[in-house]
A and B are shown apart, each in its own frame.
Chain A
Amino acid sequence: MTNAQLAGRANEPLLEVDDLRTYFDTPRGIVKAVDGVSLRVDRGKTLGVVGESGSGKTVLSRSIMNLLPKTNTIREGSVRFEGRELTTMKNKEMRTIWGAEMAMVLQDPMTSLNPVTKIGEQITESLGIHLNEKGKVAKAHAVELLKSVGIPAAERRLGEYPHQLSGGMRQRVTIAIALACSPKLLVADEPTTALDVTVQRQILDLLESQQTQRNMGLIIITHDLGVVAGRADEIAVMYAGRIVERAPTRELFARNRHPYTEGLLRSIPRLHQPSHSRLQAIPGRPPDLVDPPAGCPFAPRCNYAQDKCLTETPVLAPHAAGHEAACHFPVGTTAGQEALARNVAAGRTAAGTPLDSTVLATAGAA
């Protein structure tokens, strides 16, 4: 391989998702779980996807992995992995990519390991499938993997069952399984949600160090902005099946543009705040994905909502280099300030949500 080719490949994104849509045909109607999402992940970079439950982030991860059933699922758009189109691949072709080039860590380590199979067997399985490693070679490799994810007494663990390990240890095992064949992309779907707070950090550090060592692309999907705050290179905020704001991490925390992102940021406890300051909750709940309201899906919960928001769906618009937000009246802009002021004066937003004075005080301060 020549240098030029290498350079060319290095510039090519590892994963490129373009206008991906995933709809489910259910008896209640069509659920638009993912509705036109575009993403890009480069080698060695981390993308954080943040959204509350029901925002479609889990479906997004399964769509990227091409794991969803083919029946009664409507899929459009494209997912290109190293230039290869995944959405049209059959399971048989996917199997050469799954585990070998793309891997996944799931939310709950209690359920993502087979309860009746020894840990060693669960690790060596993909070694056998993709690297053709068997017997002692595979076993040695498995021990090495367990050691690399920080599991003590790795040899002994191989013969144990998942229920004999703690939650954190189990998540380390699932990471070891995911990393077994040195994938180029790792999708971690809420990797720390089911764990104790003390363990969460360790697992995130582990993911980060493994990513750096292996120059792997990493997607961390979470409902908690705090999880990806210091670790992701770029953050995409998801709401109602769409990406509403996307920016490099530093930029997002410094100059968020979307009112939803603002709400998420305000719901994180801050050390510099006085100890009894109230955390802001975002009022309301995410919209029903079966029959999403016209206009901006966040409008009913948004302090900035104007009449335009109820009729016209905003699209992602650039704000700075690599920073896009889908909002008619972005936070921190004149339009946004005016919109908020109008709503304050009226005591309610255009969507009819009453504004309470404490919200305004904090909003003004921000």
Chain B
Amino acid sequence: MDAVRQEFDPPRTTHGNAAQGDVSTPMPNLGAPHPGAPDGAGPIDGGTGAVAEAVAGPPAKKKRGFGVTFWLAVTWLVAVLVCAVFANILPVKDPLVPDVLNKLAYPGPEHWLGTDGLGRDTLARLVHGARVSVTISVTAVAIGMVVGGFIGIIAGFFRGKLETVLMTIINIILAFPALVLLLVLLAFVGRSLVVISLIVGFLSIPIYTRVARATTLAVAEREFVRASRTMGAKNSRVLAREILPNVVLPVAAFGLVAMGVVIVLEGTLAFLGLSVQQPAPTWGGMIFDGKRYLSEAPHVVLIPSIAMFLTVLSLNLVGDSLRTRFDVRGSNL
């Protein structure tokens, strides 16, 4: 979870937005501002950026849509989602049935992605493992987003003492390395799918609070909100009509990136033997089990690793592209 923190932590710096990741990429050159340059040439993240075109390319129209990479990422995520939802109907083998004669098999016609140390079909385990990843990440992100988003909007909109108190509590919770907190809670509460999702969701509340608060602060300063407040609109109306619609999208975009973090977290737990109990397949568990056969059959580790990597990368890509687009602070009115 800490990996995400930096993304949205308003750092105690004089740079302000500079630390928020690459919102825009100004012109390259040592020193001289480029007076002819347009503001913010576009996102550079993940090589999707239209920066090269903007900087060196012909005077083409500014690229407005999402790149190919973005849609590839979306496709992969949809595929993972389909696997998770329809794992039982998809034409894959039983993920729990061992086939000892065929253990550690390389990918082939019999087992498309090979088998693990007990001869269980890797493809089947990947498909069923997606279910755990998706359940935990969706639940956790939903909890964090709703509760944390709510607290953040309240704090950012009403300001004053309430904000001070809420943010102090949030900052104290954040003063704890998240994985340590998670371990301790898990050990003493238990480790079913539901419990893990709830705890991870609970632990991610502070981060969403910060994101939602920062966005609310920015939105509340914008002309149309101030106008509507000075014209005497009720707080509830301003919140529902003006603030909420503008805060939801940035927070949701952040939620996508956070989903990747949760997937890694689940993998980490599985790795530590603290995730959902065996033999239910999880991606982290598959990597952990395969580690034993690293020298003889590295593909047993590599295949689930690639699946997890691609999923997290796709979430980051999509989340980041959306965030750049919805960033209230980045856009000027």
Contact = CB atoms under 8 A, between A and B. Distances in A.
Q: Are chains A and B touching directly in their complex (CB below 8 angstroms)?
A: yes
Contact of A27 (B28, B35, B54): B54
A132 interface: no
Contact of B34 (A24, A28, A289): A24
Contacts of B62: 27-28
A312 interface: no
Contacts of A157: none
A71 B59 contact: no
Contact of B36 (A59, A67, A71): A59
A236 B181 CA distance: 69
B56 A72 contact: yes
A72 B28 CA distance: 10
A28 B56 contact: no
A73 B14 CA distance: 32
A28 B55 CA distance: 11
Interface string A31-69: 101000000000000000000000000110010000111
Given A33-B36, A59-B36, A69 B29 contact: yes
B333 interface: no
B57 A27 contact: yes
A26 B32 contact: no
Contact of B38 (A27, A33, A68): A27
B36 A27 contact: no
Interface in B51-75: 53-57, 59-62
B37 interface: yes
B59 A30 contact: yes
Interface in B1-52: 27-32, 34-38, 41
A24 to B, nearest CB: 3
B29 A71 contact: yes
A62 B36 CA distance: 12
Contact of A67 (B31, B37, B56, B59): B31
A292 interface: no
A69 B36 CA distance: 11
A29 interface: yes
A69 B144 CA distance: 46
A25 interface: yes
Which one of B54, B55, B57 has the highest number of Cβ atoms from chain A below 10 Å of its Cβ? Answer: B55
8 tightest A-B CB contacts, nearest first: A24-B36, A69-B29, A31-B36, A67-B32, A29-B59, A27-B62, A59-B35, A27-B54
20 contacts: A26-B37, A26-B38, A27-B53, A27-B61, A27-B62, A33-B35, A58-B35, A67-B31, A67-B32, A68-B29, A68-B32, A68-B34, A69-B27, A69-B30, A69-B34, A71-B28, A71-B29, A72-B56, A73-B36, A289-B36
Interface of A: 23-31, 33, 58-59, 62, 67-69, 71-73, 289
